[in-house]
Amino acid sequence: MPWSEVSVMSLREEFVCLAGQEGSNLRELCRRYGISAPTAYKWLARYAREGRAGLADRSRRPHGSPWRTPSPIEAAVLAIRSAHPAWGGRKIAFRLTALGHAEVPAISTITEILRRHGRLDRRESEKRGAFQRFERPAANDLWQMDYKGHFAISTGRCHPLTVLDDHSRFSLCLAACADERTQTVRGHLHKAFQRFGLPRQIITDNGSPWGDGPEHPYTPLGVWLIRLGIAISHSRPYHPQTMGKDERFHASLKAEVLRERSFRDIQECQSAFERWRHIYNHMRPHEGIAMATPASRYQPSPRALPEHLAPIAYAPHDLVRKVQQQGWITFKGRDIKLPKAFAGHPVALRPTDQDGLWEVFFCAQRIAQVDLRHPLTDIQRVNYVSERP
């Protein structure tokens, strides 16, 4: 996967950051990032000697940022605020420390500097509040995936696709899409899987293309993910807090990239997304993880994307049925309707400890329960099951 001209610095820094994580596999990272081992060692050595500046192509241009040079601290605060208009006192303070300023003022002092120079919006400050959310204990245990609300551009509309690691808040995918179709999502996920490996589980909402409402949670996209060995789950209806981290990511994207800005086309959107994704992952202190950066808490999954899907196999004691067109299977004399997404694939039925109650599995995921305790009918209804995070 070659490094594009637009994001070469971001990718180099992302690579050396992930390569420095404990237990990282350098050879596998080189394969995923499409670079040779000598090139990787070159960038690692330069980064060790010179930091981020060492990752730039050699030139006569200065490497320092305006706020890294000696200047009054007030000017440094205003410079950071100008670069990141949505950042408050806490983020600016941590950023000043990260940039090596010996004397960093108190958060209240930074806030006062911003207020004195007319850089604060009281209405935006009042909107912010603290939330308590669950957090997975390790990277790649759970990814959150969603579309942010689409917005108008000169050539149509942009649909931002976002994928976030639950533990680290690392942005794995921020894609400017022209639609919300299955193939579009699958293409971007495939790229993310190639670079970062496979997660254990992905959670989405109940809308298209990952669901057809709360009562029908399985679509062709979900079938593909399950076949890759990824458990899929869906948020509770009318409970957006289940996807709280990705929702908060959307709010930051809106505040720091989209607000009061217009775009010509999808390509211009993607360029802006890539620049901000690098800032978000590697520079922006995140209050939800004690002001660390997401990249400092993330490392790629050891589960690489397979070149080919493995055949579906079940245990010898499983009762296996092939799903027919429109989702039908026949079991113990009854017709059972499953989602059409499973058509052509085998499913396994396993008894529970309750006589007459069976569970339906596709690969390793439980997808439904079948209750045969009711009187015999022509069509046996099922209860669809979606794993919870």
pTM: 0.75
Higher pLDDT, 379 or 302: 302
- What pLDDT sits at residue 364? 92
The token pair at 365 is 């995921």
Mean pLDDT along residues 110-115: 79
* Phi and psi, residue 339, nearest 5°: -60, 140
Residue 239: predicted pLDDT: 52
Q: Determine the pLDDT at residue 8.
A: 80
pLDDT > 70 in the chain, percent: 84
Provide the pLDDT for residue 184. 97
- State the pLDDT confidence band at 145, using cuts at 50, 70 and 90: very high
Give the model confidence (pLDDT) of 318-340 as tens digits.
999 999 988 999 998 888 889 89
pLDDT, averaged across the chain = 84
> What Rg, from alpha-carbon coordinates, does the chain have?
24
For every residue of 300-343, DSSP letters joined together read --SSPPPSSPPPP---TTSEEEE--GGGEEEETTEEEE--GGGT
Average pLDDT over residues 136-145: 92
Task: Report the pLDDT value the prediction gives residue 372, as an integer from 0 to 100.
Answer: 85
Identity of the highest mean pLDDT range in 42-51, 54-63, 68-77, 149-158: 149-158
Given pLDDT bands bounded at 50, 70 and 90, which one contains residue 137? confident
Which of 94, 106, 101, 147 lies closest to 289 in space, CA to CA? 94
Over the stretch 53-84, which tens digit does the pLDDT of each residue have? 888 876 555 555 444 333 458 888 888 888 88
pLDDT by residue (tens digit) across 168-218?
999 999 999 999 999 999 999 999 999 999 999 999 988 888 877 656 778
pLDDT for the residue numbered 69: 32
Measured from the Cβ of residue 13, the count of other Cβ atoms closer than 10 Å reads: 20
- pLDDT on residue 236: 67
> Pick from 37, 32, 33: which is nearest to 304 by CA?
32
- State the residue for tokens 């404990």: 22
- List beta partners, residue 157: 152
Q: How confident is the model at residue 250 (pLDDT cuts 50, 70, 90)?
A: very high
Q: What is the mean pLDDT of residues 98-114?
A: 79
The residue ranking higher by pLDDT, 183 or 241, is 183
Instruction: Using the CB atoms, write b or e for 306-329: b if 16+ within 10 Å.
Output: eeeeeeeebeeeeeebebeeeeeb
